[in-house]
Amino acid sequence: MSELDELLSGALKRVAESGDPTGVADAIRSRVDAGDIGTPAQSSDFGGGGLLGLLPWVGLVVVAGIVGGALGVSGAVGRPAGEVVTDVSIAIGESSAAYACVDGPRVGRLPAGTRVLAVGRSEDSLSVGVRDPDSFGSTIWVALGDVSLDGGSAALEALPTGGTCVETTVALEPEPEAAPAPTADPAPGPTSAPKPHSAPGPTDGTAPTITQYWLTPDQYVYHNYPADNSAVLHALASDNAGVTGVDISWSGVHSGSATMTFSGGNWQYSYVVPNGTSFGNIVFTLRARDAAGNFSAPVSMTVRNDSAPD
């Protein structure tokens, strides 16, 4: 055990206040007798398409880095505007920060070599739902071809059918209109491949939501102090059609703006205080956006640019 481990273990044990068990067991029995259901576990407590710990877990390794183009960004998915695409139904859904599905949009990323636990499979067995390594409450759906199952196909069959790939209409940016072909030319020219169904989809009026945001290591950065002059801002966001980006801007003793990048299951931006910045607060404002141009309500975090510690 390292010095840090000993420090943490000792301090937490000194600080913690134990509960008094006197009469607790009887009180619990009385409540259950009376039909009280207490606090049943929720699927979001641990993720996985059902209550926690209920599924036969299968380990798998991401073979190729699953790097998603943002849902709906022109070219990233490569589909015409409004096309009905195969999307994915996420078991836990709203809090998932990343997902992918066979022939469907891919949002977010799982680096190659990531070892995760599979918690379910799609009805067509082409996708597996895996526990988000950064969020116990989220399931990420990935194409089966992108992962290597520990137990092979037999292990896959042991997984419950926890989610299905469903037909979902997502609003994509329209492609540039092609120049009209000359109508007077009777000669049969080369024909382009027929486009799949391209009926316009319904307008997405649902704004994304930033569900969680935090700073690491904490709210301070130290001016001109090489080891501590940066902070990383993190955010989790959700949207019915997928979050395409999170914009960040800041003001105060230093101002600017940038776009957060998706890494490790959350949106991140590493901020470094420039030399010469005055001491004081820097207020960061985050807003998530989707492909339809909807923006989430802004959330703010404050970093204090302080003097370098002695």
Asked if 238 and 95 count as a contact pair (C-beta separation under 8 A), the reply is yes
The least CB distance from residue 254 to another protein, in Å, is 20
Cβ-based neighbours of 68, under 8 Å, separated by 6 or more: 76, 98, 100, 105, 106, 107, 108, 109
What x/- string results for residues 92 through 121 when contact with another protein is judged by CB under 8 A?
-----------------------xxx----
Only one of the segments 50-58, 66-74, 83-91, 94-102 lies at the binding site for another protein (rule: CB under 8 A); that segment is 50-58
Instruction: Kindly determine how many residues on this chain lie close enough to bind another protein according to the rule CB under 8 A.
Output: 62
Residue 54 lies near another protein (rule: CB under 8 A)? yes
Q: Does 59 bind another protein (CB under 8 A)?
A: yes
Q: According to the binding rule CB under 8 A, does residue 166 interact with another protein?
A: no
- The burial of 39, by beta-carbon neighbours within 10 Å (0-12 exposed, 13-18 middle, 19 or more buried), is given as exposed
Binding segment (CB under 8 A) for another protein, from list 17-25, 190-198, 252-260, 272-280: 17-25
| Site string (223-252) toward another protein, x via CB under 8 A | -----x------------------------
Q: Which of 269, 262, 263, 252 is nearest to 214 (CA)?
A: 269
Span near another protein by CB under 8 A; candidates 15-23, 64-72, 87-95, 268-276: 15-23
179 forms part of the interface with another protein (CB under 8 A): no
**Which is nearest to 236 in space by CA: 136, 135, 140?**
135
Residue 51 binds another protein, judged by CB under 8 A? yes
Query: Is residue 243 within 8 Å of residue 211, measured between CB atoms?
Result: no
3 state DSSP class of 173: coil
Count helices and strands in the chain by DSSP H and E runs:
4, 19
Return the number of the residue (38 or 276) whose C-beta is nearest another protein.
38
* Pick from 307, 304, 215: nearest CA to 254: 304
Question: Regarding beta strands 115-122 and 161-163, do their DSSP bridges make them parallel or antiparallel, or are they unpaired?
Answer: parallel
DSSP 103-120: TS--BSEE-TT-EEEEEE
42 part of the interface to another protein, by CB under 8 A? yes
259 near another protein, rule: CB under 8 A: no
Q: Which amino acid is at 122?
A: S
Show the site string, 204-223: x = touches another protein by CB under 8 A, - = not.
--------xxx-xxx-x---
If one asks whether residue 21 binds another protein (CB under 8 A), the answer comes out as: yes
Q: Which residues bind another protein (CB under 8 A)?
A: 4-5, 7-9, 11-21, 24-25, 27-29, 31-33, 35-42, 44-46, 48, 50-55, 57, 59, 115-117, 131, 133-136, 212-214, 216-218, 220, 228, 309-310
